[in-house]
């Protein structure tokens, strides 16, 4: 069953068509990877799905409901989470506190400052569970800004999980990582896949081909191929797009 669909999704920036008439269908429980050369439109597409950018035209349907043009907070409440950028991590406060604040914002709607001690304990427990899931239990009391790059990316994913999503959008989670960090990120994504539907933007083809159920290839904003990893890898137009992208 598909959890997310786009119909004719398009984004223009002035004269540039960054995303061009994209029809997507994401199956619940699967890992769908979105690949394509630099500038293909992957991040722009993610930003529209997450409500950070309004589409020029087209429709986004999530769990059968039209969510096109909703604000990021509303999209998050529907169950779509995009891994936050590092700037969303509060550097000076602890790893645990970062996640606890995000959990609390979900429960409290982000505006109610009144808080009972027992609910605070609940939020802390939920935050601890999330930290354990993303492998950061041992870092819980350290200030977020002293974490390694790889651990910061895991914390960003933890913050996304704090909204209790159904669909998790990960934009290049392994970018800038060492080989060891890449391997633990791969393990984490595979673990996440047991609980969440995942859309992944990733340039590392070993990762994409290893863990994806479905691969969608964007080129100049348009979908040029879509299917299981092996068929996409063998697709001539995909190979040409990548060669053209490197020229
Ligand atoms: N805010 C913006 N204003 C104007 N043009 C933009 C904006 N954001 C993206 N673009 C343009 O839209 C196109 C798609 O960019 P996008 O960042 O979505 O590509 P991408 O596939 O994520 O690339 P990369 O692999 O390098 O991250 C590019 O031509 C880019 O220059
Ligand atoms: Mg991008």
Q: Read off the pLDDT of residues 74-105 as tens digits, 9 standing for 90 and up.
A: 999 999 999 865 556 777 899 999 999 999 88
Task: Record the pTM.
Answer: 0.92
Centroid of ligand 2 to alpha carbon of 107 (angstroms): 31
Q: What is the DSSP string of 53-82?
A: S--SEEEEEETTEE-TT--HHHHHHHTEEE
Ligand 1 atom with minimal separation from the 218 CA? 21
pLDDT for the residue 140: 97
Q: What lines the ligand 1 site, CB under 6 Å?
A: 13, 16, 18, 36, 38-44
The count of other CB atoms within 10 Å of the CB of residue 16 is 12
Q: Mean pLDDT, to the nearest integer, of 214-233?
A: 96
Nearest ligand to the CA atom of 11: 1
Confidence at 247, pLDDT banded by 50, 70, 90:
very low
Count CB atoms within 10 A of the CB of residue 54. Answer: 12
**Best CA proximity match to 3, nearest among 64, 91, 76, 86:** 64
Residue range 133-179, pLDDT digits in tens: 999 999 999 999 999 999 999 999 999 999 999 999 999 999 888 99
**Ligand 1 atom closest to the CA of 37, numbered from 1:** 25
Residues comprising the chain, all counted: 247
Distance from residue 38's CA to the centre of ligand 1 (Å): 8
Q: Which domains does the chain have, with CATH numbers?
A: 1-79+165-247 (3.40.50.300), 85-164 (no CATH)
Q: How far is the CA of 148 from the centre of ligand 1 (A)?
A: 27
Virtual CA dihedral for 216, 220, 222, 225, nearest 10 degrees?
-40
What is the Å distance from ligand 2's center to 173 Cα? Answer: 11
Backbone torsion region of residue 209, taken as left when φ is above 0, otherwise alpha when ψ lies between -120 and 50, otherwise beta: alpha
Three-state secondary-structure class, residue 162: coil
């Amino acid at each position: 069953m598909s959890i997310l669909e786009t119909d004719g999704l398009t984004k223009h920036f002035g004269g540039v068509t960054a995303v061009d008439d994209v029809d997507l269908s994401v199956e619940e429980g699967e890992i769908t990877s979105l690949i394509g050369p630099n500038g293909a439109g992957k991040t722009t597409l993610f930003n529209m799905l997450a409500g950070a950018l309004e589409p020029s035209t087209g429709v986004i349907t999530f769990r059968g409901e039209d969510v096109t043009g909703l604000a990021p907070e509303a999209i998050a409440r529907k169950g779509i989470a995009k891994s936050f950028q590092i700037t969303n991590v509060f550097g000076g406060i602890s790893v645990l506190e970062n996640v606890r604040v995000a959990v609390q914002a979900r429960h409290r709607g982000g505006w109610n400052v009144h808080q009972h001690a027992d609910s605070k304990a609940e939020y802390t427990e939920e935050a601890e569970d999330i930290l354990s899931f993303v492998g950061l239990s041992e870092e819980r009391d350290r200030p977020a800004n002293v974490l390694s790059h790889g651990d910061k990316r895991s914390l960003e994913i933890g913050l996304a999980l704090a909204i209790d999503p159904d669909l998790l959008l990960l934009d290049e989670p392994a970018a800038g990582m060492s080989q060891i960090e890449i391997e633990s990120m791969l393990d984490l994504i595979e673990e996440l896949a047991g609980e969440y539907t995942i859309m992944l933007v990733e340039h590392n083809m070993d990762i994409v081909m290893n863990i994806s159920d479905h691969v969608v290839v964007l080129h100049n904003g348009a979908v040029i191929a879509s299917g299981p990893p092996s068929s996409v890898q063998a697709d001539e137009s995909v190979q040409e797009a990548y060669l053209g992208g490197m020229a």
